[in-house]
Structure formats: C-alpha cells, structure tokens
Structure 1
Amino acid sequence: MKKPSLGLMIAYLLLGLPASVLVGGTIAWLIARGFYRKDGQGYAWIWYAIFISIAVYVVCLVSLPFFRNNSKAMGWAVLVLFSLSLCLFIKL
C-alpha cells in the first residue's frame, strides 16, 4: 500500500481541529438544550463543547497512526474532515 504524503497528514491534523469544534458544539447543544429553562445554567453547554471538542480531537490524533499505512483511507478521512470544517465555516 502507498503511504500518504506529508501534506495529506498535515491537512488531516489541521482540518481535525475545526471539525472537532463543530462536532463538540453540536453534541453539547443537544445535551444542554434543556438547561436554558433553569436560572443560571444557560452557559453549561460551553463547558460541554470544550470537553467534547478536546475528546474528538484526541480521537483524531489517536487514529492518525492507523491511517498512516493507507493513503486511500487517509484521503477519505481528510475529505470528511474538510466537509465538517466547511459546515462550521458556513455556520459562522
């Protein structure tokens, strides 16, 4: 199997960050949407978003060695991360 290029690995790492922010923010919003009814708990989703985003990015970092041996799988992973990052930038 062909190993992926260094540029593809860098793109994977750079696109993983905004994609993890999108996934973390969406999951945190789904978890904490009932908190707005209670007084003083409306900002709880921010902490959920921070922790979930960090966890998703760590999963991206941990999965990188598995993609290093397969260029085609790495290309698909970069494409998925690019589409998630694009959704985040459109959402802003």
Structure 2
Amino acid sequence: MEVIAHYNVNSDDFALFVKLLPQKLMFLVDSRPDRDHKVVHRSANDEILITFIRRHQPSAWKPEFKVFIEGENWGSLNGTLFDDVAALAYAIQKRGLQQVEF
C-alpha cells in the first residue's frame, strides 16, 4: 500500500487514513482547519490516494466560489464544479464509493 499524490502526508495522518479506510472504495473528506482540504480514498487497487479539493471563484468581485477535484482516476468528476463539498461528496458516493466520517 502506498500514497499516490503530489502531497507529503505525515506518518500519523497516513496511519489514521489507513485505519479509517479499512476497505477498498471507501473515502473521507479531510477539511481540518489550517490544512488543504482533500478527498482521501482507498482505491480498488487498495492504495490510499489523496486528491486536493480546489476552489473556483469566477469573479474577484464576488465572494461565491465552487469546488472541484482534479485527477484522471476521477473520470467525469475531474474538473466538474460543485456548489459545495457536500455536493462533491454526494457525487463521489454516486460513483460507488462509501463515505466515512472524519
């Protein structure tokens, strides 16, 4: 098992993710304060994968923003804009992944 991401996860976080995601196709949303928000999931290949949640603000004059994730492994979700993280999580669930609380 390995982490695949452009992200250096510390060993305590990795151990926590392994514990919280014991089965393939489980995911969680890590939205801890003072950290980059991310989706962490255990793939069908049993790897722990980390994908950052990005923000898209269409106008500098409006405070509203949408969220999205990027990555080839997300298929049709790659780059799709969502109103909020809950809508993103719901779309991931519709792809067959089981969300666990973090």
TM-score, structure 1 normalization = 0.30
From the two aligned structures, give the one with the greater strand fraction. 2
Greater per-residue helix proportion: 1
Higher relative contact order (CA 8 A, sep 6+): 1
**Greater C-alpha radius of gyration:** 1
